[in-house]
Chains A and B, each alone.
Chain A
Amino acid sequence: MIPSVTEIAVTAEDRRVAWLATAAVGLSLVDAAIPSPLPGVKPGLANIVTLVVLARYGWGTAVWVSGLRVLAGSLLLGYFLAPGFFLSLTGTTLSLLSLGLARHLPRRWFGPVSLSILAAFAHIGGQLLLARVWLIPHDGVFLLTPVFAGAALVFGTINGLIAAKLLAEPAPSEVR
């Protein structure tokens, strides 16, 4: 075989990101399979991965894992570049930004539950704003805000608890 001109060295970090993103994509698929009473109200289980990654490997890795999850998840579920993709992307971007700020909160007082709730609110806030600006240019979109915000609080808390539980276990020596 002709040797490739550009050799891409795969680092341990790359492998880790790939494995974690796979886990996140898997959870996105589980998420999509759960019936929801209202489009947009989803548990967001993949965010558990984001929270664990943020705590264990830092914000940069969390951005990679989340970004890959949105991309691969949308390809697998067939909404790549459809409105849902951009909603997902906006929500993820805003929740990553909020996590970037919130992770500087004192750890002694604020744990994964706080981060998860804040990220969930940022996520739905971003999606509502994008929906208002782009998809449904009418203030009626905001009629559902209390429902979405309530769901964000409930699922944010649950995901945060699961992430806290996982983080309470000793870290795996290394992800294969």
Chain B
Amino acid sequence: MHWLKLIRPGDWLVLLLGALAVGGSIPLFWQGGMAERAIIRQEGQVFAEVDLRSRKQFEVAGPLGTTLIAVEPGRARVVSDPGPRQYCVKQGWLMRPGEIAICAPNRVSVQIAGRTKVYDSISY
């Protein structure tokens, strides 16, 4: 083809490397590459700090009962909570640094943290 003649051999190499860089940037920036830990708090005190590479379940006791928290590679969520409105359960999986699910009635929260401390409108 006419246009293909304008691409020199090295250009194909640069194109390929560029495509690899773009492809490589997707998991790096989109799959919680920066989320490293889940911090579980009970009554405002740190109950557990979990590496987000592990797969664990936590039962955190509060005034209303037990809040069940699941940690999986790259994400964490509140599985069940005795609170009346279930906001923290409905939030589903948290995977970006700074995301937080607060089960206020049972005084339990789970937050995702990265290398650097990030602020959101709730904690800042």
Contact = CB atoms under 8 A, between A and B. Distances in A.
Contacts of B118: 138-139
Majority DSSP secondary structure for residues of A touching B = helix
A118 interface: yes
B100 to A, nearest CB: 15
B18 interface: yes
A146 B10 contact: no
B8 A121 contact: no
Which of B14, B96, B114 has the most chain A CB atoms inside 10 A of its CB? B14
A146 B29 contact: yes
Interface string B5-22: 011111101110011011
B8 A110 contact: yes
A150 B10 contact: no
Contacts of A164: 6-7
A143 B28 CA distance: 9
A139 B114 contact: yes
B3 A106 contact: no
B91 interface: no
| Secondary structure dominating the interface of B | helix
A146 B26 contact: yes
| Interface residue range, chain B | 20 to 34
B114 A143 contact: no
Given A139-B97, A139-B118, A111 B29 contact: no
B54 interface: no
B116 interface: yes
A25 to B, nearest CB: 26
B22 A153 contact: yes
A117 B7 CA distance: 12
Contact of A106 (B10, B22, B28, B96): B10
A22 interface: no
Contact of A145 (B9, B19, B29): B29
Interface residues of A, number: 30
A113 interface: yes
A149 interface: yes
B10 A114 contact: yes
A117 B9 contact: no
A55 B37 CA distance: 50
A139 B22 contact: no
A117 B8 CA distance: 13
A105 B17 CA distance: 16
6 contacts: A109-B10, A110-B8, A111-B7, A114-B8, A114-B14, A165-B3
Interface of B: 3, 6-11, 13-15, 18-19, 21-22, 25-26, 28-30, 34, 96-97, 114, 116, 118
